[in-house]
Structure 1
Amino acid sequence: MAFILFEGLLFIFWNYFLEKGCYQKTKDAYIAAHVVRIASKVSGYIETLLAQDNWEVKKGELLVKIDSRDYMARVAVADAIRKLAQTEWLRIRQLSVINALSAFNYDLALATNVMTRSILRLESLSLGYTNIYSPIEGKITARSIEEGEYVSEGQYLLSIISGNHYWIIGNFKENQLENIHPGQQAKVRIDAYPKKWFRARVDSVQRGTKGAFSPYPLEDLSLNYVKTTQRIPVKILFDDSQKFDASNIGPWMTATVQVKTKDCKAVYILSVIYSFITLVVFIILFKIIKKNIFKNSHPTTTF
């Protein structure tokens, strides 16, 4: 019974040791998602706030309503100017039929009519921007505004995480990329769910290192005596066939990734063979050590 248990332990050891060569692993990985940052195109006081943290919203749902009274007044003024310009344009056009005015006055009236129409259109757009709608379906996060607060043009208001579509960015070392290709099977373990491995696959490999597109200056490798290993981002998609609760998963949550780069069918056979050989070696060594101990414990006496 002890030999069977010891053989099982040896099999587990060799299987774990040999299977490591079939995978490329990294703990430098995180979850990514489509995140839309919402900002205001006009300034004003927030009249109504219909968005709260972690709320689910639909596409086209009203999120924020900015006080529109100033913009309604601007539209009224622009419309009055447009009507005046249009009336003047109609009068000038009638006079142009009998050649009672110069070409310059005709062109000036025409340009004024077109300009006032454009101004009215711009003011109408500004009035429409006082209502901020959700451009996608998702969950609200990082809200930084309150009802009654004054917001400026271009000011950040909140973010929306798109639906339940997430993927993994695994940063692998340069020397790990030789056998990593799109389409390979992978396993992902999210730190928030440490007991579960999720099925995934490699989607693509970024052409360039992790720091190549950073806004900060890159490290000057020519000044280092020790060469620094760079990291290459690899995009990994979850398997759509598996179902799991993604309600608590969000961007920048850390994860561990294993990419299967080799066929591991022979690993189990080699594990059995190596574990058997190891067991035989242990038995032989045990017998040799036991024999030597027995000899040393019964010394021969001479007369």
Structure 2
Amino acid sequence: MEQQAPKKTKPKMLIIILLIVIIIAGTGSYYWISSKAYETTDNAQVDGNIIPVRSSVTAYLNEIRFRDNQQVKKGDTLIVFNTIALKAKLEQAQAALENAKADVSVSDIRAIASFQNAQSSLQNAQSGQQDILATKANLDKAKQELERTNNLLKIKAATQEQFETATAALQVAQANYTQAVNKQASSYSNSLGQETSAKAVKGQISVAQAVVKQKMAELALAEEDFSHAYITAPFDGIVTKRSVSQGQYISAGQTLCAVIDNHHLWISANLKETQLDKIKPNQSVQIRLDAFPELKLTGKVESYLGATGARFSLLPPDNATGNFIKITQRFPIRISIDGEQPTALYPGLSAFLKIKVQ
């Protein structure tokens, strides 16, 4: 009986071993098939917009209205500059603009007066033509009278005194005619001068109008500077990295702080180039963060960067140098996060991704 017991247990052992083999094979097959359906990487991190806040004006810093790492809303006032000098520049620009507009009005009035003077001078010149005609008629009459008196004198029908009187009348008529001609020429010359002066004054209007445009631009710049005396948050987020103090003299372009947009985040992943043929836009992604293992997030493949990460490095590798060593390149992709994002997410957190490719 003792020799037959092992024979009875042998089929049971075979069945158990067979079951174990089947379980192992099934589990292995399951994980093998599952691995084919996903691409994974741990070279990923949470990313977001981090905006440096810079000064647009040169002024003293009057007030800082935030604490480092404080949550702020879009439009909240962060920093207030001293506005005395900025307001003075604004008022100075406004006064300069008003003065330039007044110059345009004065130039308009001068141009109108100049053209009126030119018209008056032209009318005087035209009226001088009538004087020329009248004196010419008197001159012709005096010539005829002198000729008639001379003929009468020859036949003793006129006296020498009458002849001398006719001669003097002719001379006076000739002088009046010459004076009328010269006066008309002077009037025409004066008219041309008045017209040229009027055109010059009209040209000054264009200059004055250009000055007005310049002063308007200076006023716009002054208004822009004055509006930047109050720096506000560009979006909801966290303000941090304050690098200035109250009362400090700030130059235009100087960095004041940084604002982190922690409400619109995404995942930046660096996949191996051998994985790219399976990765397509809109593929679903499972996201796990090292900082919060219990937090389950999902997302979608959004876009490719367009070049390998090495192309964007400070010193990109050059394969033509002769010391080429082939290594697998990393290709950055952007992954959006589904649904409402938790407030606990911050740019820079490490992430593990499973991208469903089948």
- The aligned amino acid for 1:256 is F
Query: For 2:309, what is the secondary structure of its paired residue?
Result: coil
State the alpha-carbon separation in 2 of the partners of residues 50 and 201 from structure 1.
39
Query: For 2:108, what is the secondary structure of its paired residue?
Result: helix
* Pairing partner for 2:286 from 187, 202, 207: 187
1:69 corresponds to: 84
Whether 1:198 aligns to 2:297 is yes
State the alpha-carbon separation in 1 of the partners of residues 89 and 30 from structure 2.
76
Whether 1:221 aligns to 2:316 is no
- The aligned amino acid for 1:261 is V
Whether 1:146 aligns to 2:245 is yes
Work out whether residues 173 and 231 of structure 1, in 8 Å CA contact, stay in contact via their aligned partners in 2.
Answer: yes
Question: What pairs up with 1:15-34 in 2 under 5 angstroms?
Answer: 15-34=30-49
Work out whether residues 262 and 346 of structure 2, in 8 Å CA contact, stay in contact via their aligned partners in 1.
Answer: no
Instruction: Point out the structure with the larger strand share.
Output: 1
**CA offset at residue 211 of structure 1?**
2.3
Q: CA RMSD in A?
A: 2.7
Instruction: Point out the structure with the larger helix share.
Output: 2
- The aligned amino acid for 2:348 is W
1:125 corresponds to: 224
**CA offset at residue 8 of structure 1?**
9.6
**CA offset at residue 24 of structure 1?**
1.2
1:253 corresponds to: 349
State the alpha-carbon separation in 1 of the partners of residues 273 and 93 from structure 2.
61
TM-score, structure 2 normalization: 0.65
State the alpha-carbon separation in 2 of the partners of residues 69 and 219 from structure 1.
54
Query: For 1:46, what is the secondary structure of its paired residue?
Result: strand
Work out whether residues 58 and 252 of structure 2, in 8 Å CA contact, stay in contact via their aligned partners in 1.
Answer: yes
State the alpha-carbon separation in 2 of the partners of residues 188 and 182 from structure 1.
16
Whether 1:54 aligns to 2:69 is yes
- The aligned amino acid for 2:47 is A
- The aligned amino acid for 1:220 is D
Q: Alpha-carbon deviations, 1:265-298, whole Å to 9, x = none?
A: xxxxxxxxxxxxxxxxxxxxxxxxxxxxxxxxxx
Unmatched 5+ residue regions in structure 1?
263-303
Question: What pairs up with 1:1-303 in 2 under 5 angstroms?
Answer: 10=24, 12=27, 15-99=30-114, 101=198, 102=200, 103-214=202-313, 216-222=314-320, 223-240=322-339, 246-262=342-358
Change (3 A) 1:77 1:16: same
Change (3 A) 1:200 1:119: closer
Between the two proteins, the alignment pairs up a number of residues equal to 258
Work out whether residues 181 and 205 of structure 1, in 8 Å CA contact, stay in contact via their aligned partners in 2.
Answer: no
TM-score, structure 1 normalization: 0.76
Asked which structure has the greater CA Rg, the reply is 2
Work out whether residues 262 and 345 of structure 2, in 8 Å CA contact, stay in contact via their aligned partners in 1.
Answer: no
Q: Alpha-carbon deviations, 1:160-219, whole Å to 9, x = none?
A: 2225221111100110111111122211111111344422221222321112234x2311
2:182 corresponds to: none
Query: For 1:211, what is the secondary structure of its paired residue?
Result: helix
Work out whether residues 50 and 64 of structure 1, in 8 Å CA contact, stay in contact via their aligned partners in 2.
Answer: yes
Work out whether residues 221 and 227 of structure 1, in 8 Å CA contact, stay in contact via their aligned partners in 2.
Answer: no
Work out whether residues 262 and 347 of structure 2, in 8 Å CA contact, stay in contact via their aligned partners in 1.
Answer: no
Identity %: 27
**CA offset at residue 17 of structure 1?**
4.5
Unmatched 5+ residue regions in structure 2?
1-12, 116-197
1:273 corresponds to: none
**CA offset at residue 93 of structure 1?**
1.1
State the alpha-carbon separation in 2 of the partners of residues 14 and 190 from structure 1.
28
1:274 corresponds to: none
Change (3 A) 1:179 1:135: same
